[in-house]
Amino acid sequence: MGPDRSKLKELLKKAERVAVLTGAGISAESGVPTFRGADGLWRNYKVTELATPDAFAQHPELVWEFYNWRRQLVNGLTYNPAHKALVDLEAKVPHFTLITQNVDGLHLKAGSRNVLEIHGNLWKVRCTRCHKITTDMSPDMGTLPKCQECGGLLRPHVVWFGESLDYPLLHQAMEASRTCQVMLVIGTSAVVQPAASLALETKGAGGKVAEINVEETPNSRMMDFVLLGKAGEIVPELVNSL
Ligand code: BV8
Ligand code: ZN
């Protein structure tokens, strides 16, 4: 284990408060395609244009096809050793917060408890008329699913580009970032805001930040530790040695 990792291990051992931020890269080894991996495209549609309120307003069937495709894909997959190791880390640290950009639900499936799904969850739907939020695990919701309560059109309960995050959740994520001694940033390209700025909150408050990724990102130069490699290998090795 290099000098960097042993120093990070010492910090994690002593830390009262730890925060973790994850992105699509932590689910890559489970078979969930990353956004960058697919060049940000689905059927030649840019995801940043498809996952928007405008696209849903104009083409709700197409947007539902996109989310049903992801439901069917994720439905057949499960968590990997990196997700599992974070469950173990949560048990070893007095105050632990897991902030995820992923909507695949694999952290909760692995058994993580204090999880902030700041971009929502693929398995939840919200009525566009009465705003009722329900969990529906069906791999295919059909083209234009309707609300059981009021018959209104349902939409995926995820945060689309151009939409604000749920404020109480974002506030919790900011608080956890500002008050932790160590933040692990795992498998994210650090492009999408405001998630990409959470590590800055930790640094600004005097905490240490460590990036775990198969490659460098725009945030690497501001990191205290950069551990290059697969999350499924590095995270279990780091946590099991604590
Ligand atoms: C908002 C849910 C108020 C839906 C998602 C400031 C500047 C510029 C733009 C903006 C700005 N502020 C706001 C914006 C606009 C926008 C934004 O950031 N745009 C980007 C494209 C520039 N932000 C918003 O719209 C946010 N809302 O700010 O509201 C507002 C509104 C308008 C204007 C101003 C303010 C809402 C953002 C949330 C959007 N919803 N998801 C869905 O999933 O369908 S974002 C979605 O994309 C994910 O949740 C995630 O956040 C992002 C993808 O990023 P990653 O998860 O990092 O995945 P990626 O594939 O990119 O990278 C994978 C990484 O893993 C890579 O680094 C790779 O090397 C690594 N990796 C791969 N394999 C492994 C690995 N690492 C380790 N191990 C491996 N095995
Ligand atoms: Zn309704």
Residues 149 and 49 in one domain: yes
Q: Which of 135, 132, 138, 97 is nearest to 118 (CA)?
A: 97
Residue 129 CA to ligand 1 center (angstroms) comes to 27
Return the best residue to mutate from 26, 30, 34, 102 for the ligand 1 pocket (most ligand atoms within 8 A of CB): 34
**Ligand 1 pocket residue status of 159, Cβ below 6 Å:** yes
The total of structural domains in the chain comes to 2
Running DSSP on this structure, what letter comes out for residue 221? G
CA distance 160 to 162: 6
What pLDDT shows up at residue 20? 98
Cα-based distances in Å from 15 to 8, 19, 21, 90, 235: 10, 10, 16, 12, 17
Ranges of residues in the chain whose predicted pLDDT is under 70 = 1-2
Residues 141 and 202 in one domain: no
The residues, ordered by sequence, that sit 6+ positions from 153 with a Cβ below 8 Å of its Cβ are 60, 127, 128, 129, 144, 145, 146, 147
Q: Which of 67, 51, 83 is nearest to 138 (CA)?
A: 67
Q: Print the domain residue range for 198.
A: 2-32+79-119+165-240
Return the best residue to mutate from 161, 163, 185, 237 for the ligand 1 pocket (most ligand atoms within 8 A of CB): 161
Residues 45 and 138 in one domain: yes
What pLDDT shows up at residue 72? 97
Residues 140 and 62 in one domain: yes
Q: Which atom of ligand 1 is nearest to the CA of 119?
A: 2
Residues 68 and 147 in one domain: yes
Q: Which of 188, 181, 218, 173 is nearest to 203 (CA)?
A: 181
What pLDDT shows up at residue 235? 98
Residues 188 and 221 in one domain: yes
Annotated active-site positions, please? Answer: 119
Residues 154 and 178 in one domain: no
CATH assignment at residue 47: 3.30.1600.10
**Ligand 1 pocket residue status of 191, Cβ below 6 Å:** yes
- Ligand lying nearest the CA atom of residue 69: 1
Q: Whole-model pTM above 0.95?
A: yes
Report the nearest-CA residue for atom 73 of ligand 1.
25
What pLDDT shows up at residue 42? 87
Residues 176 and 231 in one domain: yes
What pLDDT shows up at residue 2? 65
Residues 194 and 134 in one domain: no
**Ligand 1 pocket residue status of 103, Cβ below 6 Å:** yes
Residues 136 and 61 in one domain: yes
**Ligand 1 pocket residue status of 192, Cβ below 6 Å:** yes
Residues 141 and 231 in one domain: no
What pLDDT shows up at residue 139? 97
Residues 112 and 133 in one domain: no
